[in-house]
Amino acid sequence: MTVLRDISFLWAMLHVIILFLLLFEPKYSWHTTLIAVFAGSAAIAAVNVAAMVRMGHGIIMSIAFFSCTVPTMLLNFVLSKYRDGRFFFLFCLTDTTCFWLLQITNFLDRLTGDTYVTMFISRLILFPTACFLFWRYLSRPYRTLQSGLNSRWWLFTAVGAVYYLLIMATSVPVGTPMPDTGGLIRIILVLILMPLTYLTIFHALWRQMQTYESGRREAEARQSAQVYALQVDAMRHQTQAIQASEAALMSLRHDMRHALNSAAALIQSGDTARALAFIQDFNQAVADTSTTRWCQNASLNAVLGFYLGPAQAEGIQVEARVDIPEAGLPVDALELSIVLANAIENAVNACRRQPPGQPRRLSLSAQVRPQLALEIANTFSGQISLGADGLPVTGEEGHGFGTRSIAAFAERHHAFLQCDAEGGIFRLRLLMGPEYQAHGGK
């Protein structure tokens, strides 16, 4: 009957691999991962079966940590996408679940005559049932937790590791006498507390995830409000500029007949030089009524006019080469408006802080062919320190939010963001395309 015992153990090892893979996020393709996992697991299983044949079935619970747990952990760590507390928590969860089921089925067999029949039948049923429950109720929410949370995992890993070691330490190998009443009560308490502890951990993780999601939704709502307010202000500014231009044109049309008559009189009197100067002045007056169109995209053009027009009026030298069409952007135009608004506002403010006599220049270039490329450069005075994340460090309260917003945009869309300050010129570059998204914005 020992064959039933050995088959049931191999059956359990197969299903602990399945349990692990149901929640696992691989670094490599699933094809490569599955080949590596099952090849490595087969080698580990062969070593453990050989140990059981040579030293008896009871030895497996004594050496399993070194002959099974550690090699499996190292193999899966190499294959894992997450190489932090998330991986070790998952490993503790699945291995603890496996040993918990092994211990339960072992006790059931001991209570029914120690024939291995109950062990074989119960493991044949319980391990597939555990896999189904993992797949049906845990797989999707757990993957969401893994991807959405990257903190507090080490604390829960420590709790899981303690229970894993407790189950290992309190296990009763096949062929050894049953413990006394006190020892049995301790084992039962450990077996009861293990699922309760993991349910508590998952509840805490899920609450943390809900808090995170709530904060993210609030941030998105604030960004939407910011976009709306920016667009309203920009459109209002553009409308006022157009209305002022139209009013000036109406006045010029009214004066045009008198201007032409005056120019004709000067020519007839032979004063061509004054007539030419008069016409040039009139042409300049007509040109002054026009509104600047910074780019073809209406939303972005309104934002550019809202910030660059007043900057020019303040004497800041503005150079803009913006080739952004109305359609075909890789991101939403309103979202890109926020990036431009934050970057230009920072640049204009830096120019405003220039001491008298120092150059105040701002240059902007943007295009979407073949990729979204944005560069803003401005003059500045003083020192600009860049932090470990490559962003400017400011100690002033209420400053730095615009740059962090741009950085969040870059991270969200896997774009390349770079800042540098050299020779009195600060530059911000943003590149976004398939090659950057494929490498996570690197």
Q: Which two tokens stand for residue 7?
A: 């088959």
pLDDT of 254 strictly over 90: no
- pLDDT of 118 above 70: yes
* Average pLDDT value for residue range 52-56: 72
Tell whether the model's pLDDT for residue 1 goes beyond 50: yes
Q: Kindly state whether residue 196 falls inside one of the protein's structural domains.
A: no
* Pairwise CA distance, residues 398 & 395, whole Å: 9
Burial of 92: CB neighbours in 10 Å, binned 0-12, 13-18, 19+: buried
- First-to-last alpha carbon distance for the chain, in angstroms, is 59
Residue type, 409: F
**How confident is the model over 201-239, as pLDDT tens digits?**
888 777 776 776 666 666 656 655 665 565 556 555 555
User: What is the model's pLDDT at position 239?
Assistant: 52
For the chain, the average pLDDT equals 79
Residue 252 lies in a domain: no
Q: What is the mean pLDDT of residues 302-309?
A: 82
381: left (phi over 0), alpha (psi -120 to 50) or beta: beta
Whether 322 contacts 300, CB under 8 Å: yes
19 domain-assigned: yes
Q: Per-residue pLDDT for 91 more than 80?
A: yes
Domain boundary among 178, 209, 242: 178
pLDDT band at 426 (very low <50, low <70, confident <90, very high): very high
Would you state the pLDDT for residue 53? 75
pLDDT, average across residues 90-117: 87
What would the mean pLDDT of 326-347 be, rounded to a whole number? 83
According to the per-residue pLDDT averaged within each range, which of 56-65, 89-98, 332-341 is highest?
Answer: 89-98
Task: Choose one of 178, 210, 229: the last residue of a domain.
Answer: 178
Name the band, by pLDDT with cuts 50, 70 and 90, for residue 252: low
User: What's the average model confidence in pLDDT over 316-332?
Assistant: 85
Residue 303, in any domain of the structure = yes
Which is more confident, 57 or 8? 8
Least confident span in 263-267, 316-320, 394-398: 394-398
Residue 424's CB: how many other CB atoms inside 10 A?
A: 14
Q: Do strands 385-386 and 392-393 pair parallel, antiparallel, or not at all (unpaired)?
A: antiparallel
Confidence of residue 163 (pLDDT cuts 50, 70, 90): confident
**Cα separation of 101 and 307, whole Å?**
66
Considering the domain architecture, whether residues 173 and 32 belong to the same structural domain is answered as yes
Give the residue from 178, 210, 230 where a domain finishes: 178
Confirm whether 202 is domain-assigned: no
Instruction: Identify the residue with better confidence: 420 or 3.
Output: 420
pLDDT at 333: 79
Is residue 248 assigned to a domain? no
Are 13 and 162 part of one and the same domain? Answer: yes
Same domain, 19 and 159: yes
Report pLDDT for 231.
52
Q: With bands split at pLDDT 50, 70 and 90, how would you rate the model's confidence at 397?
A: very low
Round to whole Å and give the CA distance between 193 and 199: 10
User: What is the 8-class DSSP label of residue 80?
Assistant: B
CA distance 97 to 101: 6
Q: Would you state the structure tokens that stand for residue 236, as one six-digit string? A: 């209002």
Same domain, 18 and 167: yes
In this predicted structure, which of 42-51, 210-219, 242-251, 309-318 has the lowest mean pLDDT?
242-251
Which pLDDT does position 368 carry in this prediction?
84
| Residue 21 shares a structural domain with residue 158 | yes
Summarised one tens digit per residue, pLDDT across range 165-174 is 888 777 776 6
pLDDT confidence bin for 99, thresholds 50/70/90 = confident
Which residue range is the domain that position 80 belongs to? 2-178
- Among 264-278, 281-295, 369-383, name the most confident range: 369-383
Give the pLDDT band (50/70/90) at residue 39: very high
My answer on whether 34 and 160 are in the same domain is yes
Query: Domain tally for the chain?
Result: 2
Q: Residue 431 maps to which CATH number?
A: 3.30.565.10
- Who has greater pLDDT, 324 or 232? 324
pLDDT of residue 174: 66
Q: How far apart are CA 169 and CA 219, in angstroms?
A: 48
Look at residue 229 and tell me if it is in a domain. Answer: no
Q: What is the mean pLDDT of residues 18-31?
A: 90
Q: By the 8 A CB rule, do 379 and 361 touch? A: yes
pLDDT at 289: 47
pLDDT level of residue 351 (50, 70, 90 thresholds): very high
Which pLDDT score, from 0 to 100, does residue 259 have? Answer: 61
What is the pLDDT at residue 437? 47
Q: What is the pLDDT of residue 256?
A: 60
Q: Is residue 392, in this structure, part of any structural domain at all?
A: yes
Average the pLDDT over 174-187 and give the result: 77
pLDDT at 283 exceeding the cut of 70: no
* Same structural domain, 160 and 308: no
Per-residue pLDDT, 126: 94
Are 308 and 172 in the same domain?
no
